[in-house]
Structure 1
Amino acid sequence: MDFRRRRLAVTLRNQLNYPLQFNPFVFSKIFLLWVAIGIVGGVIAGLYWTVLEGFLHFLAPIQGLWVIPLMAAAGLLAGFIIHKLGDPGEMDLIVNNVRFKGGHLEPKNNPSMILSSWLCIASGGSAGPEAPLVQVVGSTGTWIAKKMKIRGEDLRSLTIAGMAAAFTALFGAPLGGTLFALEILHHKHVVEYYQALIPAFVASCSSYVIFILITHIGIGPTWNFPVYSAPELNDFFYAMLYALAGTAAGWLFIFTVRQCRSLFKRLRVPIYIKMMVGGLLIGTIAYYVPLSRYFSHDELNILLEEQTTLEFLLILLVAKILAISFTVTSGWRGGFIIPLFFVGATVGLIVNNLFPGQNLPLILVSCMAAINACVTRTPISTIILLSTLTGFHHFIPIMFASLTGFFLAPKTPLINAQLGVKE
């Protein structure tokens, strides 16, 4: 025993006398792969966003009654693309493949995902580019891993790193995007893939820089939120109280999506017909409630700037929930995270109308955190994402609201693959 102690002491003394050196891991192949996936992800996200902005610039001026035939035609065309090039799947498939197929995301249907999602998002679908990009960049991570003959958990980690790079590029939050990519995979064990945390974070940081360089999007909050004063102790309790409204909206959204999903499953028609029908429904809603159109990246700022009545907000809430539900269940491509934040902000404004004189920034961020945590089961990353997107830098009230939405969520998650049952 004494011999071992003396040997350990000699070893430690020798190490302390070593000259300062870089950690050799920084120059290892696997670390450079993490960086490379982030760079590739940033380039893909940047080019995708640039082209999407071009489509939006071309299609956004089409307003009024013309919105209905436009969105019906867009759904039909996007459906033909999916029918001919292959169905790329949705978030359920991504989660299922990462969890039960060793992290293998197939890139063969990426052209179908890219082309169809451009049409769906640019024409006015109520779903954003986060889900398509997660599929594309995540599968690129799988492809790179296979080319480098990487197997096992390292392959899964590279796939998750690609997913995180995509989330980060769009949300502008490297830590939030990293945690979201990990949390979305399971609704209970948020650290199940803890070994992918550092790869995802490294890829997120490099993706973030490349995306900003390509798109020239500024660094700072995405939405113009009202200023929040220094938090008080009561704010934490108020945050949980306001979060009840956001959680109720989350339940309503999940119920609506399930009913719409059941409705479209009964339609025994090709996917392009389903998507055309979805386009007609979304377009009709957009005609009567224009603010429900698109995935709400810019519309949320408009909502915060306008003077709105309680009646308008209630109509907008119902219209937006229906628009998102029809979008994600009729085959239209896109993600519902940013649209959910819009719904949460609408609920917050309704609460503020019903009980004027309250702390508006706290109401808004509490409802937004609660609905997202309730629907996506991502309470930790929601805190960081919302703080980055809104400039609301006091974490603790958001934390209380996010956990309220998470723990009061329905037993069965909206993303079925989160249950842990192989599909």
Structure 2
Amino acid sequence: MDFKRRRLAVTLRNQLNYPLQFNPFVFSKLFLLWIAVGIVGGVIAGFYWTVLEGLLHFLAQFQGLYVIPIMAVAGLLAGLVIHFLGDPGEMDLIVNNIRFKGGRLEPKNNPSMILSSWLCIASGGSAGPEAPLVQVVGSTGTWIARKLRIKGEDLRSLSIAGMASAFTALFGAPLGGSLFALEIQHHKHISEYYQALMPALVASCSSYVIFLLVTHIGIGPTWVFPIYATPELNDFFYAMLYALAGTAAGWLFIFTVRQCRRIFQKLHVPIYIKMMIGGLIIGTIAYFVPLSRYFSHDELNVLLEEQFTLEFLLILLGAKILAIAFTVTSGWRGGFIIPLFFVGATVGMIVNTAFPGQNLPLIMVSCMAAINACVTRTPISTTILLATLTGFHHFIPILFASLTGFFLAPKTPLINAQLGVKE
């Protein structure tokens, strides 16, 4: 024991004599690669978003009955792109490749993903750009790693860093985007990917700065939420209570998606016909309930600003769930995170309208957190993302709601690859 103490004392004295130096890791090859992946991701995300905004403004001219043929044609064209350029896959494929193929995301189908998702999102599909960008930027990380002969866990980390930088560019939350890229891999824990957290954070920060420079989007909450007063102890319990409504909506959404998936699996037709049929259905829903159209990035602010009756909110809830379900099961490309937040906000409005006098911002953020955590199994990142997007900076009530949705989620996740079983 005395020997160990003397050795420790000598070590401490030697450390005191060491000159102060920079951490050599900052100048390492891997650190610079993480920054490079983030910069490339920010450029790609900025270019993608700029073109998408232009297409959205152009196609937004077509309203009323024109919505139905526009979305049918968009589905047909997007399907033809996928038919001739290759199927880029969906989130299940990304998670499977990260888990079972050493993190290798194939970039060969990126042109197909970019073109088809532009058509699907801009024409009014109820799916957002996060999933396409995750595939494109994540596979770019893989491509960079291959060119530099990087293998093993470093390659996987670069792919995850690319995914995180894509999430961050769109959501404006480097920490939330990084954790989402890790949490989405598995619904039980993220410990096996913890070593990828630092690459994801570094890439996310550089991606966010570049994305802001390219798009000139301001820094601040995306949605203008009502002001939330200082939290009280009871708010944590109310958050869990309100989260039950969001979780129920999550169960309904998962059930609806599975039923729609069965319907389209029975259609033995080419992908472009299936997507055209999907476009007709989504377009018809959008014609009767216009607020259900698009991926709800802007529509959520409309929901917050205007007053709606309980009957309309219930119709909107059903229409939006059906629109998202038909979008993601008919082959249309896009992600459902932001649309799910819209569904959660609608549920919150329904609860507040049915039982007036409640804490509206707490109800809405609780329902939004619960439904997303229920469907995507990402309670930690959901908490941080929502706090950033809504300006609701009291994390604990959101976390209580997220955990409620996570633990009350169905046994089998919607993203089958989260089961951890190779398909």
Q: TM-score range by the shorter chain?
A: over 0.9
Output the amino acid matched with 1:160: I
- Aligned residues of 1:42 and 1:206 also touching (Cα < 8 A): yes
Residue in 2 that maps onto 1:56: 56
Kindly report which structure 2 residues correspond to 1:17-416, keeping only aligned pairs within 5 A, or say none: 17-416=17-416
What value does the CA root-mean-square deviation take over the aligned residues?
0.9
Q: Could you report, residue by residue, the CA deviation over 1:65-115 in whole angstroms, capped at 9, with x for unpaired residues? A: 000000000000000000000000000000010001110000000000000
Between the aligned partners of 1:58 and 1:9, the Cα distance in structure 2 is 72
Amino acid aligned to 2:254: I
**Cα pair distance change 1:303/1:155, threshold 3 Å:** same
Unpaired segments ≥5 residues, structure 2:
none
Distance 1:11 1:253 in 2: 60
Specify the code of the residue in structure 1 equivalent to 2:359. Answer: N
Output the CA distance in 1 between the equivalents of 2:152 and 2:190: 20
CA drift of 1:4 comes to 5.7
Counterpart amino acid of residue 348 in structure 1: G
Q: Name the count of aligned residue pairs.
A: 423
Question: 5+ residue gaps in structure 1?
Answer: none
CA distance in 1, matches of 2:190, 2:24: 30
After TM superposition, give the deviation of residue 173 of structure 1 in Å.
0.2
Distance in 2 separating the partners of 1:337 and 1:371: 10
CA distance in 2, matches of 1:49, 1:76: 22
TM-score by structure 1 length? 0.99
| Structure 1 consecutive aligned stretches of length 4 or more whose deviation exceeds 2 Å | 1-12
The letter for the 1-side match of 2:66 is W
Post-superposition CA distance 1:190-209 (Å, at most 9, x none): 22200000000000000010
2: CA distance, partners of 1:9 / 1:169: 48
Q: Distance in 1 between matches of 2:296 and 2:16?
A: 56
Partner of 1:193, secondary structure, is helix
- The CA distance in 2 between the partners of 1:191 and 1:126, in whole Å, is 33
> In 2, distance between residues paired with 1:405 and 1:190?
18
Query: Contact 1:183 / 1:191 at 8 angstroms: preserved in 2?
Result: no
**Structure 2 CA distance for aligned equivalents of residues 192 and 398 of structure 1:** 25
Amino acid at match of 2:354: L
CA contact (8 A) 1:289 1:319 kept: yes
Separation of aligned partners in 1, 2:235 and 2:376: 25
CA distance in 2, matches of 1:374, 1:181: 16
**1:124: Cα distance to partner?**
0.3
In structure 2, what is the Cα distance between the partners aligned to 1:55 and 1:249? 31
1:231/1:394 contact within 8 Å kept: yes
CA distances 1:152-200 after superposition (whole Å, capped 9, x unpaired) = 1111111000000000000000000000000000000122200000000
How far, CA to CA, are the matches of 2:334 and 2:242 in structure 1? 28
Distance (whole Å) between structure 2 residues aligned to residue 52 and residue 16 of structure 1: 56
Residue 12 of structure 1: how far off its partner (Å): 2.7
